[in-house]
Every structure is written in C-alpha cells, then in structure tokens.
Amino acid sequence: MALHTPLHTPLHSDAGGLLSYACERPLPAGTLVRVPLGRREVLGVVWDAPEGIDAPPGQRHALPEGMTLRPIAGVLEGLAPLDAPWRRLVAFAARYYQRALGEVALAALPPQLRTLSPEQLARRLRRPAQAPGATDEAMPATETLTVSAEQESAIARIAAEPGPFLLFGSTGSGKTEVYLRCVQEALQANAAAQALVLVPEINLTAQLEERLTRRFAPLFGAAAVVSLHSGMTGPQRLASWLAAHSGRARIVLGTRMAVFASLPGLAFIVVDEEHDPSYKQQEGARYSARDLAIWRGREQNAKVLLGSATPSLESWHASRPPSPENPAGGRYLRLHMPSRIGAGALPRVRRVDMGQQPRRALFSAPLLAAITERVARGEQSMILLNRRGYAPVLHCVDCGWKSDCPHCSAHQVFHKADRSLRCHHCGSTLRVPRHCPGCGSPDILPLGRGTEQLEEQLGALLSDVLRPDRTPARIARIDADTTRAKGALASQLAQVHSGQVDVLVGTQMIAKGHDFRRITLVAAVQPDGALFSSDFRAPERLFALLMQAAGRAGRDAAYMARQGTPCEMWVQSFHPRHAVFEALRRHDYPAFAEQQLQERAAAAMPPFAYQALVRADARTQQLAQGFLTAATAAAQAAGLPGREQVTLYPPVPLAIQRVANVERAQMLLESPARAALQRFLSAWQPVLQATRSQPQHKGLLRWLVDVDPLVI
C-alpha cells in the first residue's frame, strides 16, 4: 500500500509537498519512518492523505504507467504516532507562514531523533525513562504561599471562563504564582493532563525550572518537569521530548520552539512575557510562538494564559473590554493585577536632562551620587545599556576612517578586553590596528559607548566608594560577551542574588524576568536611540524594556521597609519630556498603549492591518530589487486572488543591506484583511518561484516570506 509523508524540503522544491512511498502494512498517520530521498535516508512522518489521493480502503492506489513507489526503509517502532492535533498545528503553521509542511514538521522534532535508525531508537527507548536532571529521590513537601486578593480573583476567573486570558500585572505583582496555581489546578483535575509554559529566552528557564520542580515534584514526581530549548544538548532535548510525547512529563518549560512539543494531554498553556519579540522566529519558518500557542489552545481545548506587565499592542487590542462602539469587546479576557506583592511600591522614576550635563558625560552627577549612596548602605544598583562591547565603532580623528566591516554595511564593534573589532552581524573579527588604515595616524579613538566601557568608567568613578563592611564596591557585567561559557550566566546571577555584586551593568538580558531581591536603583543611561527610529514598533519596545527594567527595583517589600528608602528608576535622556518617558514616570501602560493605538489606527498599521515581507538576497542590490520588482509585475499581470485588497510597496534595501557579502532587499505587503493577504501569498508562491527561475535572476541566492513581521 502507499503512504504519504512530508520531508524537510523547501516549499518551492519538487519535493516540497507530500511524497508517496510503498509500505507492506498500513501505518497510522503520525508514525515516524525512515525513507529514501535520492541517495540519502531521511526521517519522515506518515501524514493524512490529501483528499482524492487514496483509493477506497483495501485497494492499492493507482500509479501512472511505468511508475513504482520506493519502499520505506524502516519504521521507528516503540513511539506512539504524533497525534492529529499536533499534525493540525504543523499544517496550520506551514500554511499560514508560507513554508513547506515537511520543513515545519521535521524542524519541530528533536535533531537527534531525525538521525536515529529504528535500531538505535529501540536501544534508546530501552534505557530507563528519566528526564534530564531528574532523580528517584523523594522530594520535600512544597511550601504553601498565601495569594493576594488580586491573585485570587484572577485565578478564579481563569478557572471559571474559557479564555484566552491576558494577565496584565505590574512587575512584582505575582504573575508567576498565578501561573503555578492555574497549572496545578489543571493537572490535578485530570491525571493525564499536561501543561506548556513558554518563556522568551533561555536564560530565564533555569530559575523558573527550579521553582516549577520545587512546586510540582512532590505532587507529580521528580520527572514531572522537563525543559525544552536550543541550549540543551541533543540527548537532553530528545529525552525531554520523549517524556512529553509519552505523557510522563506533566509540565514542559521551554522557549518558542517548545510550542511544537508533542503533548497529547495538553490542558493549559502559559506564555510569560508575551510581548517579547523573541517569541518570533527570525530564521527558517518565521512563526510566532505566542500566536501559535493561542491557535493550539483553541484547537486542543486547552486554556491559554498570556502574561506581561507591558503587553504587546496586538494583545492589548485583542483584550479590549466591551464598549458602545464594540459591544463584543476583544477576543481575549483581560485580567488586571496592578499591586505589588507585600504592598511594595513601584519605583519612583527620576529623569535627568543630559542637555544640562557636562558634554560627553556618561553619568550625571545626581545619578552617580545616588549609586554611591546605595553602595554605602549595602544596596544594589542596576545600570542598563542595550549595547555590548566597549564602543560601537573606532574612528580616526585625522581622516575620518571608521571600523567598517569588510563584509557588511555595518561597523565592527570595538571590544577592549581582547583588543578586537567584531562584527555583530557576520561574526568577522580583526585585531585593533595600531595606526589608522586610511592615513597612518595613531589617533584612533572609540566613538560611542557599550557595556564594557560603562563597566570600566563606573569602576573608576566608584574606586573610592566603600561598602558597609569597608570593602571596595564590586561591579559586574552581564551581556552576551560575558555569558558565552557554559554555566557563566548562572554563576553570575548567583553572585548578584547572594549580594556579592553592588552594581550590575548589562544589556536587556538583565532587564526582564529576574527576581533580584536587593536591587533598589535601576538606571537607563542612553535610551534615546529608539525614540526617533524609522521602525514604528520602536517606542513600544523601548517602553516595554524600560518598564521591565524598572520592575527589577524594590521587588522585596520587606527588604525595602527595613532599608527605609524608596526604590528608584533613573532615566538619562536628551528628551526627558518625551511621551514615552512621561508615561513611564506614571507607570501608565494603558495611557501609553492608547496613544500608540490611536497612531496605529490613523496610519492603518498593525493591529489594524496585516503585513508580510518578501525578502530577496543576492550578490548585488540591483539583482535583489530587480527580482522583487519582476515578481510584483508578474503578480499584477496574473490577477491573483486577493490582489485587490493587498497593497504592494516598492522594494527597498534593508536597514543593514549587506551582511556577509550578501545584498538584501525587501518589499512590504499590507492588507486590511488577513484572509485576503493569505490568499494572495499562497497564490504568489509559484509566481515567485517561476520568476526566480528566469535567466536574468540567476544571481539571486534566496527569497523568503515573513508573515506578521516584527522588524520592517
């Protein structure tokens, strides 16, 4: 008999759809098989046959004369088939994000599973079923925490209503405890139930996994909680996936990739920090894990809880309450928790006009005095600068030379620690020259500032400041450069939590999700870059980053009461009266969101319109833009469905138009109707591929479609 399987191939390739193979016995849809593809043997998933392909049961499918099917190479026995809800999720993601079915399906499986033969998998399944890090030792009883009235109200409404829910809670309001209570109720209601907890970044998984294990291991066993993210080794990811697929794991904690985990008993989904752009995949199938979580919850009848102190404008709009203009309200139910646990106060926001400070000053005198006072009292401060390295660029005073990357239209960043120039786009690295390559002058100076320079200058400014124990102030830096080694981030965070660090300097890595108990002052030293960006989402991202950073201060109400001083958020800006900082001063996200949504509605931008990008990479910018222009003309000539409701803008270079010697161009598509945009994109795919095959576009390297892009 014939079976049909998607393989990991591009949508526009000849093998982009379902392929048919011969099999001696019927296999249920969802079975994993090894199949030949050319000279290779690859993993495939037995798929539901498209309508009209299969003959009636018991009859062999008729093939064109002279054609025979290649037999499958083997079946991965011992694994239950991937269930119908999982297959529908993959099919929807492939269809909506304009990717090949097999590309999404196979990428959703653990990499090691894709390489195992049936015999190797059988040996792997014979090993003791234990998730990474789990032990057979008895776990201590979990502590019972008292919840606030706001938390109790939110938990009750989540239990009573279908959702989806948007939990809008200020930083420190106890959103995580609400997540845990709701997950616990869902798992205790059904012995086969499972929960999925998504976080935006890998560095947030360790502390949450510890808390989940401490809470749920006594209730459901030591192996009840598993993690799933790209920072794990191949065997670890496979073990976690198998535990989830078999139902042994009751809770899966992971980053965006975990939204595709096989969870046959899925009953509850949590998306923490739902506003975070990290939930949007930027390579391959460019899916949004947050949006897929909503779709998956509806498909599997699982409740979905989105949580954030600064929700995305899309989620905020989708959770709007009923009004005379819109009696039905939004699709989500908004739950509000404005108060901090323990009656803790949100930080007072203090703005410093850097136009009134000495030229090139990095720290204003009032901020430096405030940091000094905190160190002397034994308190911690956090300094945020979302730019790593020592300086964004080196330049020559005499001839104007700058440290441009030879492979990208970007500067190489100066890293003083190892005297290197590094491109943060293509990764190329050079030694810092002793003289200007342009004119030979020795006067090469750093221009701008990064976290490395911030740490150095702060160390010099605080060199004479003593802690209460009369020891010098201690400064630490956390960014992508200091956390490359395995275990480095956990070690550095442990030092902060234990009080070994007085001033923490870092990028956005330190601004969200961490529960620092002794930080009483947070400062953003150079936040102006996003205020006048061409990206219409820049103010939203800046406000979220600053609100999240402010939320690291004063989280322990009892500690703040003992210290007797209020927590503070300092913002140094040349535009201290900007609307973003005015809303930040009042901690007024609703007012900020309302103002932004009014601007979006007037400009017909998301969430009031739907967008897609088509990007082309080529050896020259002319080739990249020429391909997009030709594809646009072909679409207009073909009269594709939905075309009358879709606006196609002319192609333009990307902001960083050249990366690794590849020129990049893109064009924006916009429509007031999501369905019309989807119809047009689906019909445009073969037109794009036909345009790509024309001789004049021979230098085109690749093209891709990005639906619901976050960066334009």
Sheet holding 429-431, edge to edge: 413-415, 420-422, 429-431
For 338, 528, 704, the CA distances from 663, given in Å and listed in that order, are: 47, 29, 14
3-class DSSP assignment, residue 50: coil
* Gyration radius from the chain CA atoms: 27
182 marked ligand binding residue: no
Rounded-to-integer distance, Cα 511 and Cα 519, Å: 12
| Separation of alpha carbons 508 and 506, rounded Å | 7
Give the span between the Cα atoms of 347 and 279, in whole angstroms: 28
What are the residues whose beta carbons fall under 8 Å from the beta carbon of 75, sequence distance 6 or more? 27, 31, 32, 33, 34, 118
Which residue, chain included where needed, has tokens 């191939």? 9
d(CA 402, CA 393): 7
Q: What are phi and psi of 542, to 5 degrees?
A: -65, -45
What's the length of the chain?
712
What would the DSSP string read from start to end of 294-342? HHHHHHTT-EEEEEESS--HHHHHHTPPP-SS-TT--SSEEEEE-SPGG
Residue 446 structure tokens: 């750093």
Burial class (CB in 10 A: 0-12, 13-18, 19+), 636: exposed
> Using an 8 Å Cβ cutoff, are 479 and 451 in contact?
yes
> At residue 6, what are phi and psi to the nearest 5 degrees?
-85, 150
- SS3 assignment, position 699: coil
DSSP assignment string, 119-153: HHHHHHHTS----TT--SSPPPPPPPPPPPHHHHH
DSSP notation for 499-564: T--SEEEESGGGTSS---SSEEEEEES--GGGTT-SSTTHHHHHHHHHHHHHTTTT--HHHHHHHT
Dihedral over Cα of 493, 494, 497, 501: its sign: negative
DSSP secondary structure letter of residue 280: B
CB-CB contact of 667 with 648 (8 Å): yes
What secondary structure, in 3-state letters, does 421-453 show?
EECCCCCCEEECCCCCCCCCCCCEEEECCCHHH
Is 567 annotated for ligand binding?
no
Position 294: which residue type? I
State yes or no: 423 annotated in a binding site.
Answer: yes
φ, ψ for residue 444, nearest 5 deg: -105, 120
User: 23 a known binding residue?
Assistant: no
Specify binding-site residues.
Answer: 396, 399, 405, 408, 423, 426, 436, 439
Specify binding-site residues for Zn(2+).
Answer: 396, 399, 405, 408, 423, 426, 436, 439
